[in-house]
Amino acid sequence: MKAAVLTEQPGELVIEDLRIDKPGPGEVLLQVVGAGLCHSDLHFMEGLFRTHLPIVMGHESAGIVQAVGEGVTYVEPGDHVVACLSIFCGRCPQCLGGHPNRCANPQATSRTEGASPRLSRSDGTPVQQMARLGGFAEEMLVHENGLVKVIEEMPLDRACLIGCGVTTGFGAAVRTAGVQVGTTVCVIGAGGIGLSAIQGARVAGANKIIAVDLSPAKLETAQKMGATHVVDASQTDDVVGEVKELTGGGVDYSFEAIGRSATVRQAFDMLATGGVATVIGMVPSKDEVTLRGIDFLQEKKLQGSMMGSNQFRTDIPRMIDMYLDGRLLLDEMVSATIGLDAVNEGYQMMKNGEVARTVITF
Ligand SMILES: [Zn+2]
Ligand SMILES: [Zn+2]
């Protein structure tokens, strides 16, 4: 099967023909229908985060079950599924404590060391899977606990977006921060994740939702998603001041959806007394975040969010219902649909800041 492989860091993706194994115990073989281009793959392609090579990139996919391995009871061939990288074991303290997105036992849902690899080249070289999914490929072989069944009315080239970006942003607002009705929110960064956080804040009933970005086109999209106000960061050197002015002193909830220490600082500084800043973006591992200590006396909080604190097997079907009844906007987030061969061009468009989300269809 064809897949987009990262062979060096930094580097572009190379389309290769790979061998995919039969599903082992607990595993499911999928035919991929749609795959979203998420920013975190780009971080690996740019070498900001290290990984074992070669690796099939992509982790935002939806498809149809082809075959299941021994012991799989959750899905059967023909089922429509969305993959999520929050693959849970279901028995570690994090999973049992209600936080399967933090599962601390990835071994339980991976092949054992020394077993034949899920993916390999024709010469036998093992090939890794991004986030244990590897979604930029015609087929995927994944653990059943990384999948959620979805209803067939849901188009899979839209459902894939919920697998990572939408769950991450929407969940950060609704689950991690728990945005309350009537409150004020600011989202820094109006890419796929930020737009999803804006939608989460809208569905949760926030009164004011301020979007901050450098791109006027993205700010326009943000307004369609539910932003009530926008701040064009290319036109001001005082984003924090503008947000405070719009809200009479600061927001109840801020979200950083870029992954830079400077914008994390802005997210914290723009809070009202008692406000909560949630960092969704992946800040490069060498970077530190500096805060002014006295602000903690105002009971401001700073917290992280991993994959929107999801419980994806319940969250994703709910989000699909919201899409089907018009409350969750996904079509409006997709600015381009491409083939697998154009994956590098798709990432170039993302780097140029031209698009919210690009979807690969197969
Ligand atoms: Zn992602
Ligand atoms: Zn677990």
Write the pLDDT tens digit of every residue in 280-329.
Answer: 999 988 999 999 999 999 999 999 999 999 999 999 999 999 999 999 99
Say how many Å lie between the CA of residue 84 and the centre of ligand 1.
Answer: 9
Q: What is the mean pLDDT of residues 39-53?
A: 92
Say how many Å lie between the CA of residue 305 and the centre of ligand 2.
Answer: 17
Q: How confident is the model at residue 353 (pLDDT cuts 50, 70, 90)?
A: confident
Query: What is the share, in percent, of the chain residues with pLDDT greater than 70?
Result: 100
**Pairwise CA distance, residues 109 & 304, whole Å:** 25
Q: What is the mean pLDDT of residues 333-349?
A: 94
> Which ligand has the minimum distance to the alpha carbon of residue 93?
2
Q: How confident is the model at residue 39 (pLDDT cuts 50, 70, 90)?
A: confident
Instruction: Show the tokens assigned to 311.
Output: 């419980």
Say how many Å lie between the CA of residue 73 and the centre of ligand 2.
Answer: 19
Helix intervals (H) in the chain = 39-45, 93-96, 156-161, 167-171, 192-204, 216-225, 239-247, 261-269, 312-324, 343-351
Tell me what pLDDT residue 175 has. 98
| Whether residue 356 has pLDDT greater than 80 | no
Say how many Å lie between the CA of residue 131 and the centre of ligand 1.
Answer: 9
Tell me what pLDDT residue 27 has. 98
Instruction: Show the tokens assigned to 342.
Output: 């154009």
Say how many Å lie between the CA of residue 128 and the centre of ligand 2.
Answer: 21
Whether the CB-CB separation of 119 and 21 falls below 8 Å is answered with yes
Say how many Å lie between the CA of residue 60 and the centre of ligand 1.
Answer: 6
Tell me what pLDDT residue 49 has. 86
Say how many Å lie between the CA of residue 77 and the centre of ligand 2.
Answer: 26
Q: How confident is the model at residue 331 (pLDDT cuts 50, 70, 90)?
A: very high
Q: What is the mean pLDDT of residues 10-38?
A: 97
Nearby residues for ligand 1 (ion, Cβ within 5 Å) = 38, 40, 164
Q: How confident is the model at residue 16 (pLDDT cuts 50, 70, 90)?
A: very high
Say how many Å lie between the CA of residue 313 and the centre of ligand 2.
Answer: 14
Q: What is the mean pLDDT of residues 131-152?
A: 98
Return mean pLDDT, the chain. Answer: 96
Tell me what pLDDT residue 134 has. 98
Tell me what pLDDT residue 133 has. 98
> Which ligand has the minimum distance to the alpha carbon of residue 92?
2
Say how many Å lie between the CA of residue 228 and the centre of ligand 2.
Answer: 39
